[in-house]
Amino acid sequence: MATNPFEDAPDNVAPIANGWDVKQIDEATSRLDRPAWPNPLGEAAYHGVTGDFVRLIEPNTEADPAALLFQFLCYAGNAFGTKAWYLIEETRHYPNLFVCVVGRTAVARKGTSRKHVTRVMGEAAPEWESECTASGLSTGEGLIARVRDPLYGIDKEGHPELIHPGAKDKRLLVIEEEFSRPLRVMERNNNTLSAVLRQAWDGERLSILTREDPIKATGAMISIVAHTTIEELRAELTEVSTANGFGNRFLWPLARRSKALALGGSVDPATSSHIAETVRRAIQNCPFGGLILDEVAQHKWIDVYGSIEDEPGLYGAITARTAPQILRVALIYALLDQQSQIGIHQLAAAKEVVRYSNDSVRHIFGDRTGHRIADTIMNALHSNPSGLSRTFISHVLFSRNVAADRIASAIAELIDIGKARATTIKQTGGRPAEVIVAA
């Protein structure tokens, strides 16, 4: 094991890894500013039993190692429940993650990767896997109902009466292999799913106060494993979802087929039994209370925290919770190691995991701002290096169908974040004219 896990490791130490859909935007142009596929997960991420699991499965599957690793962490984190947490000021951060694996098509083998994780976690925690996993996200009420508190009333004789027993186990891992569907559902009027999911990630009491008979859930532990394609995510993750903080509660690892196995691959269940046993013991021995960073990790975290910058645009909005995401992932690594403190190796592993997610976000969304009008203008500017006048943008690009103040606001935003600038050009026989050009 490296003495300093924060040192950059050479590319060959990691396991094999490969690697707004707006109608007005020219797809050929939108590809110009899309960063490359993220570098594979570095060695630091393959720490402990998580790394053992990926290294065992990876040679025998077409699934991406990143998809295996992220989903393994999400599954394990939920199995730990709310016994342990990391305290940031007055907020308890539990080991629950929201993970959406993003691939270009079904060939990304997203479902294949999850099935490997399900098999091992089913052996490690069979009752949890059977009783605490479910599929389908549609309404906030439906989600709360799965982890609801007991409901009591008064019978005819004035005595307390149990109306509903509530959930026996408040842990819930939601599996959504068609994530575009709930993203569309959340845009419907009065749908409460987005609000409830944000409450769930934050560890708050879940409730729908608009109901005549509101249901509540306290102490619930909700995690999400979701799958989608790049195209669906660009189309369905709306301005509202990014502005209200829904998007930055997720980790968004990219995945693609790691290799071609024409005859398929297989893993002998007996060879993974030691991994399941290690996870089982970690769940059983999960400490109660808050974990802290040990002294060495504290010093390193000060440096890491100071290096996290606020970034503009859609990338900045979706990665705005980088710091708490790192600490949540580090907590899971520590619990899997059966440690009572988070050490430098767990912190380094978590930093690399979140780095991969953030780099995936850069590839998926590129330089997009997340605002449809601004993104349409930006892509048009890339197609016209000499610039566009405000009149052209309003009358031609938007066919006079967008209010002038909204166009002006979008242009101002592009200038403010350094994606565009206003300049003047000389016209033959006339006054200089202002044009907007790509920066």
Confidence of residue 1 (pLDDT cuts 50, 70, 90): very low
How far is residue 249's CA from residue 328's CA, in Å, rounded to a whole number?
11
Q: Is the dihedral of CA 267, 269, 274, 278 positive or negative?
A: positive
Q: Which residue has the tokens 């990338």?
A: 315
CA–CA distance, 62 with 72 (Å, rounded to integer): 16
User: Mean pLDDT across the stretch 200-207?
Assistant: 95
**Which tens digit of pLDDT belongs to each residue from 71-88?**
999 999 999 999 999 999
pLDDT digits 0-9 by tens, 383-400: 888 889 999 999 999 988
Q: What is the mean pLDDT of the chain?
A: 88
Question: Does 8 have pLDDT greater than 90?
Answer: no
- pTM: predicted TM-score of the whole model, two decimal places: 0.86
Q: In this structure, are residues 258 and 65 in contact, taking their beta carbons and an 8 Å threshold?
A: yes
| pLDDT at residue 341 in the model | 98
Task: Quote the pLDDT of residue 112.
Answer: 87
Name the token pair of 326: 């790192």
Split at pLDDT 50, 70, 90, the class of 378 is: confident
Per the CB < 8 A criterion, the answer to whether 88 and 327 are in contact is yes
pLDDT bracket for residue 19 (50, 70, 90) = very low
Q: Provide the pLDDT for residue 428.
A: 67
Rounded CA gap, 301 and 322, in Å?
13
Which domains does the chain possess? 11-365 (3.40.50.300), 372-438 (1.10.10.10)
pLDDT tens digits along 238-271: 887 888 899 999 999 999 998 888 877 777 888 8
Lowest mean pLDDT among 22-36, 132-146, 219-233, 422-436: 22-36
DSSP helix/strand/coil, 321: coil
Most confident option among 2-6, 106-110, 237-241, 353-357: 353-357
Can you give the pLDDT at residue 25? 36
Phi and psi at 207, nearest 5°, equal: -160, 155
Most confident of 7-11, 140-144, 429-433: 140-144
Share of the chain above pLDDT 90, in %: 62
* pLDDT value at residue 20: 28
What is the band of 33 on the pLDDT scale with cuts at 50, 70, 90? low
The confidence score (pLDDT) of residue 209 equals 64
pLDDT of residue 9: 40
**Amino acid (one-letter) located at 29:** T
CB 238 within 8 A of CB 227: no
